[in-house]
Structure 1
Amino acid sequence: MQRLKTRAQFQAVLAGTIIARTPHFALHRNQLDTKIPVPETAEPVEPGGLFRHQDMWIGAMVPKRWAKRAVTRNAIKRQIYTVCADFSQLYPQAAFVVRLRSGFARAQFVSAVSDQLRQAVRHEIQTLMQAGAKEA
């Protein structure tokens, strides 16, 4: 499993299709074998293209809009990468982005990082990845 690193990689995957959704997350996919257009605003692409290796590529997008504190964003990203590693055998060689699309209620999760929040995020990402595995 490879991680997305550049803005161009993220933009290319987000231009693909959404294959699964949960109340807080969306899973985007773009096939590696298709010709992926490089946005004009993106940085220059190396000669091998955006995705050099035929592997499962994964990226996590957790905007400040939905998770204000950095510690919360980092905890959510850690959960995303951990769960995706568990599901990597079920997915084809393609590029995926897990995107946070709404915030978790601060009334329910008072602490920036709590075991309750971690468990809720982990459970929802597992549900997302199971639904995505059926579509992939």
Structure 2
Amino acid sequence: MIGRIQRPVDFERVLARPSRSRSVHFALHHLSANPAPKPWAAAKLRTAQAELSTGDTQAAHNVVEQSPPRDCWVGIVVPKRHAKRSVTRALLKRQIRAAFAERPGMPPGLWVVRLRSPFDRQKFPSAASDALRQAARAELAQLLDRALAPAAPKAGAPA
């Protein structure tokens, strides 16, 4: 299952990590974790120790770090400064979601795709052209391939 990252705290956690792979227009960040619990869910688990009329005390429950992630959550950052037209931003978001949907074997965790530079308006004058759609999809496929490829050993490092 692929979910959507919606809370700002999750975006901040993932974007604080270095990018896992980059292309000309996109950067891909990954954090092997589950989304942060909703504030109201955590509040229900925390019960203060209080004296009851029966003399028994309640046990205090604390939110424990969840188990390793089993699902994949995707966050998308397409700033207006890089894609001025809303049609272009919507097209890029659809292409990002489609690129992740095509890859059912993505490692679990939080993924954020960030548009880091604009597409050239000379090459793609239309806000939502087939050429822009195909160029974005091809670049996203390469970005995900690089992110999933096993890391090559660095020069001088023992094998």
TM-score computed with the length of structure 1 as normaliser: 0.83
2: CA distance, partners of 1:133 / 1:9: 21
**Deviation (angstroms), 1:135:** 4.9
- Tell me by how many angstroms 1:13 deviates: 1.0
Instruction: Give 3-state SS (helix, strand or coil) of 2:103's partner.
Output: helix
Query: Which residue is 1:17 aligned to?
Result: 18
| 53-62 or 103-112, larger mean C-alpha shift | 53-62
Counterpart Cα distance in 2 of 1:71 and 1:135: 36
Encode CA deviations 1:14-37: one digit per residue, 9 max, x unaligned.
11231111000000011117xx9x
Task: Report the counterpart of residue 129 of structure 1 in structure 2.
Answer: 144
Give the CA deviation at 1:7. 1.1
Change (3 A) 1:30 1:65: same
Rounded to whole Å, the distance in 2 between the matches of 1:125 and 1:45 is: 36
Question: How many pairs are equivalent?
Answer: 128
- Greater CA deviation, 11-20 or 92-101? 11-20
C-alpha contact 1:17 1:28 (8 A) present in aligned 2: yes
Shift of 1:10: 1.0
Question: Considering only CA atoms, is the larger Rg found in Structure 1 or Structure 2?
Answer: 2
Q: Greater helix share, 1 or 2?
A: 1
| Structure with higher RCO (Cα < 8 A, 6+ apart) | 1
Cα 1:46–1:17 shift into 2, 3 Å: farther
* Match in the other structure for 1:70: 86
Provide the aligned C-alpha RMSD in A: 2.7
Which structure 1 segments of 5+ residues have no match?
none
Could you say if the C-alpha distance between residues 104 and 2 of structure 1 is closer, same or farther in structure 2, counting changes exceeding 3 Å? Answer: same
Question: In the TM superposition, what is the alpha-carbon distance from 1:44 to its structure 2 partner?
Answer: 4.7
Structure 2 stretches of 5 or more lacking a match? 43-62, 152-159
More strand as a share of residues? 1
Distance 2:134 2:96 in 1: 12
Residues 1:115 and 1:102: Cα distance change in structure 2 (over 3 Å)? same
Who is 2:5 aligned against? 4
- Measured in 1, the distance between the counterparts of 2:126 and 2:104 equals 31
Deviations 1:74-114 (A, max 9, x none): 1000000001111231x211111010000000011001110
Secondary structure of 1:17 counterpart = coil
Over the matched positions of the two proteins, sequence identity in percent amounts to 41
